[in-house]
Chain A
Amino acid sequence: MNSQRVGVHAPPGRTWGALVYVRTMLVFAVVWALVAWWTDNPVLLPSPVTVLDAAIDLARDLELFEQAGISLGRMVISISLACVLAIPLGFAMGLSRRFDRAVDPTLEMLRPISGIAWIPLALFIFGIGNALPLFIMTYAAFFPILVGTVAAVRSVDRRLVDVARTMGIPQRTIVTRIVAPAALPSLLVALRLGVALSWTAVVAAELIGAPSGLGYAVEWYRELLMTPQVMSFIAMIGVIGYLCDAGVRWINRRFTPWAQLRR
């Protein structure tokens, strides 16, 4: 068993984990600093201290948070849009075989076309602005959420539905009281995937076709050859990506405690 191995080598608590983390990252920073010192070209590879300085300056000007807020706002809007579109459709497809058969092939034809491949066409339709990243992100998040919802609805224990039917409970109540809660945990897992994909897509969309946001800022500072700022914004993209994922995982734990028990 894995747990046995954990028992033998278990690190004593969270502080130890944090320490190991800091130790590894310190080694990384030292190696980085040495390479930077060796290349001796602040445009190509600035030292970690310079990058930290730039990041602190950007944070003090609030520019870092402003752009992050814009990107994050876009993501929240497009995830909500994707949910509003994909979840009802997924429920319909999961509940009715006939509907699924009618709609599924069309969706399966679209699904392999990644959101990013839509960028040129969407650029032409929407132009550079807010609509482009919103469209690309909604598209990117739509399919994982849809596929997850369909799978979640299908995986609901048939017996529960049958029991409810035997007791004469109307279809509507079965869906809201039995299917929805049973499907919720897998649905939230799908949401996590959707969030991750749409965050990747926002960076690509903003890099190419938006006048604001983190992706735009990265590209803007690259053109100015201000590498420390580029790295600060890249780090911010990672931080927000991590926080979003942690947020969705927290929602999973908080709102579907019954799914955690099974594990």
Chain B
Amino acid sequence: MTTALDVHAERWWSAAGVGLLLPIALLITWQVLGTAVGTPRTPLPVNILKAAAAMIASGDLPAALLQSLGRVFGGFLLAAMLAIPLGLLMGYSRSAERNLDPLVETFRPIAAIAILPLAILWLGTGTSAAVAIVGYAAFFPLIVNAVAGAKHVNPTLLRAAATMGLDRMTTIRTVVIPAALPSIGVGLRIAMGVGWTAIVAAELAVGAKAGGGGSGGIGQMMFVFYAYSIELNRIIVCMIAVGLVALLLDRMLRALMRKLMPWASP
């Protein structure tokens, strides 16, 4: 007889084992095929590991990631400061929604990257253009979710607040905002993901269009590896780093939401 624990352990084992089989097989195939038929430039798993170690040891990769992250947080904060109060207002007051919604809906379908040429024109090729792109990208998921959150307040609570003679500001502060928080949290998570994608795109495009002129960040780094020193191994290291940061940001925000808002379903 197997105990529950055994079954659990065995299941975990087989799940992890089967799941890891395919990536390992793929990596081995890649390494073997690449050494057999590839040119010296062909990226190989072993060389990627070496490149990663070198880039981390020299501090280039962490520095570039930190620079990009700083921009993401900057743009994200700007967007949040604008979008969340505005979204709450729009969700709470119908006339505000009716008058502001056309603006939001008009600009929402315009992809953040499309604004980049204008941002370069207005703000140059430095940090401020990148921050503006992130802010633009993050603004829309934030505002849409804030509106939805403020709209789905239980009307009984609103009526109770009205019955007790609470003024508008107190009602918003004590009833609307707590009820809207879970939805705002979802908006924050989506906005963070979108912002991280946007920063990579913005830095890449700035690098591509401004001739590599020092804006820095992970996207710029990738572009330099593509255009100047053709090092595919290092490009792949950057790609993996971009993916890992995206994953970490999402996990961190999820954990934060669970901690701060245990009443919201995950």
Contact = CB atoms under 8 A, between A and B. Distances in A.
B238 interface: yes
Nearest to A234: B114
Interface residues of B, number: 58
A113 B242 contact: yes
B169 interface: no
Interface string A77-117: 00000000000000000000010011111100111111011
Contacts of A159: none
Nearest to B242: A117
Interface of B: 14-15, 18-23, 26, 94, 98-100, 102-103, 106-107, 109-118, 120-122, 151-152, 155, 196-197, 200-201, 204-205, 208-209, 222-223, 225-226, 230, 232, 235-236, 238-240, 242-244, 246-247, 250
Given A2-B155, A11-B98, A120-B225, A101 B18 contact: yes
Interface in A209-259: 209, 214-215, 218-219, 221-223, 225, 227, 230-231, 234-235, 237-239, 241-242, 245
Interface size class of A (residues with CB under 8 A): 35 or more
B226 A5 contact: no
A9 B116 contact: no
A231 B15 CA distance: 52
Nearest to A230: B117
Interface stretch (A56-64, A168-176, A177-185, A199-207): A199-207
Contacts of B247: 112
A144 to B, nearest CB: 12
Given A112-B244, A114-B242, A121-B232, A24 B111 contact: no
A44 interface: yes
Interface of A: 1-2, 4-5, 9, 11, 20-21, 23-25, 28, 43-44, 98, 101-106, 109-114, 116-121, 123-124, 199-200, 203-204, 207-209, 214-215, 218-219, 221-223, 225, 227, 230-231, 234-235, 237-239, 241-242, 245
A116 B197 contact: yes
B239 A245 contact: no
A249 to B, nearest CB: 13
Contact of B22 (A21, A105, A208, A238): A105
Given A24-B100, A24-B102, A124 B230 contact: yes
Contact of B155 (A5, A116, A119, A231): A5
23 contacts: A5-B155, A21-B102, A98-B18, A101-B18, A113-B239, A114-B200, A114-B242, A118-B239, A120-B226, A121-B226, A121-B239, A203-B113, A204-B201, A207-B117, A208-B208, A209-B208, A215-B113, A222-B118, A225-B121, A227-B121, A230-B121, A234-B114, A239-B109
